Amino acid sequence: MKALTKKFLLASLLACVVAECVAETRPNIVVILADDMGYADAGFNGATDIRTPNLDRLAESGVVFTSGYCNHPFCGPSRAALLAGRYQHRFGFEHNPHYDPGNPHLGIDPNEKLFPARLQEVGYTTGGVGKWHLGAAAPFNPLNRGFNYFYGFLGGGHDYFRIDLSAPLDTAYLTGLVRNNKPAGFEGYLTTALSRDAVEFIERHCGEPFFLYVAYNAPHSPLQAPAETIAKYGHIVDEKRRVYAAMVDEMDRGVGMVIDSLERTHVRDNTLVFFLSDNGGPQPMSWNPNYGNSSSNAPLRGGKTNLYDGGIRVPFVASWPVGLPAGKKFDQPVIALDIARTAVELAGGDADSEPALEGVNLAPFLRGESLGKPHDLLYWRDLGGARWAILTGEGTKCVVDDPRRAPEVYHLPNDIGETTDRSSEVGHEVARLRACWRTWDAANTGNRIVPAHDYQRLQADFFQSTATASEADWHSERESNSRH
């Protein structure tokens, strides 16, 4: 009996040791997302007029994806895919939702399981800081979608210096912030306030596995930055870019605060940090020459809202000191939805429970353990399929950015700026890629998000018609009463 007891105790002890080792090898995970940042506006991607020492430090400690893509050329759908780990078209999220806390239908499908919820299932504490943009009503609230903690704003943007609860709701840029569903504010500059909160989350949870989503709204409009930071960029002649540069600078400083906190709490080595932008930088257009935030996507073509690479190829880095090589460039195409599967599989979670995550675990490819390409094909869709693109693992891209034009074909390794359309030379390839895209698209569903500007118009029309009907009913009732 004593021998059996000793064997049982020894087995239990070994099991505890193994469990502890497994837990220790699982990384903390931090995803830092910029908003409307240009491809060329980080030092690790060639910027010389904007200083990004902390992003460059992060890049030097990890892997730079030179062909790193987001899932959509503008905000909301791109973020939906990132957090779901699936193409957003699978659940009908193809437009930016308007901010409406009273509409329980205007947001990400409540049946869609976001990847932070999968991390919760294996013991991770999950936090979100910053911009949400996936719906403002209760069914879409971060605390109901896999986050233990959230501080930020639920709409698509915010003023960087102030809150004004007396202002018209409009796009909600002056609304109050929330912290775990309670009203909250901020002091000073919003980007810094978000960074401070991210640091506090790390300090609270550094003794346990954690996931942190730091979703900056910088450098999205409005173009606002502290005067002293703008003054650092006096060498930039264009005033608009000078302010934009200061906004990127402040965000970079916030990234430094986050990285420093990981180092200070002794968890940096075993923390996997991703940095990327939600889409390319917005550029002036022929019909709106003042559009854009003065970002640079050079040498890419186009910008935000385009399916050319300027709209979807973004600054993209992964750093994990004990788990990934440092100072490496990875040239094969990867996409934002890969982050979810990478994180969940490294955490020991279930990436294949329905609905299964669609990305790939990038870690084996970055370590050289898996040879070949992470993806044979990547896909994009907008306007219900009127605009679309498909990219092969070798870098051949077929794109319809303008529904009035025929598909164009570019070989990006030799033509990163998409300057020479080769469709007339490779008609068979156009047909093949279009067929592949249609096969992929067959699994998609219709868009369920009314575009924000259309929603505002419908909302205004509804209230006007309601007011008119109410007034007519009042006059009718008054006339009826007068007869009696």
What are the pLDDT digits (tens) for 134-182?
Answer: 999 999 999 999 999 999 999 999 999 999 999 988 779 999 999 999 9
Quote the distance between the C-alpha of residue 371 and its chain's center.
28
Of these residues, 72, 95, 98, 133, which one is catalytic? 133
Task: Tell me the CATH number of domain 378-441, given options 3.30.1120.10, 3.30.110.40, 3.30.460.20, 2.60.40.10.
Answer: 3.30.1120.10
For residue 476, name the pLDDT band (cuts at 50, 70, 90): low
List the structure tokens of 23.
């837990």
H-assigned helices in 331-426: 338-346, 363-367
Place of tokens 């979807």: 312
Is pTM beyond 0.95? Reply is no
**In whole angstroms, what is the distance from residue 413 CA to residue 199 CA?**
39
Percent of the chain with pLDDT over 70: 92
Q: What is the pLDDT of residues 245-298, one digit of tens each?
A: 999 999 999 999 999 999 999 999 999 999 999 999 999 988 888 899 999 999
Quote the distance between the C-alpha of residue 23 and its chain's center.
28
Q: What is the pLDDT of residues 367-410, one digit of tens each?
A: 999 999 999 999 999 999 999 999 999 999 999 999 999 999 99
Looking at residue 78, its amino acid is: S
pLDDT at 34: 98
Q: What is the CATH number of domain 27-376?
A: 3.40.720.10
**In whole angstroms, what is the distance from residue 311 CA to residue 280 CA?**
4
Q: What is the pLDDT of residues 286-339, one digit of tens each?
A: 888 889 999 999 999 999 999 999 999 999 999 999 999 999 999 999 999 999
Of these residues, 72, 75, 158, 220, which one is catalytic? 75
Number of CB atoms found within 10 A of residue 350's CB = 14
pLDDT at 5: 45
**In whole angstroms, what is the distance from residue 364 CA to residue 138 CA?**
38
State phi, psi for 367 to the nearest 5 degrees.
Answer: -85, -10
**In whole angstroms, what is the distance from residue 428 CA to residue 373 CA?**
23
**In whole angstroms, what is the distance from residue 463 CA to residue 91 CA?**
29
Q: What is the pLDDT of residues 40-76, one digit of tens each?
A: 999 999 999 999 999 999 999 999 999 999 999 999 9
pLDDT at 206: 97
**pLDDT at residue 129 is higher than 50:** yes
List the structure tokens of 130.
């910053």
Q: Let me know if 133 is a catalytic residue.
A: yes
DSSP string, 276-299: EESSPPP--BTTBTT-S-S---TT
Q: Let me know if 75 is a catalytic residue.
A: yes
3-state DSSP call for residue 385?
Answer: helix
pLDDT at 1: 45
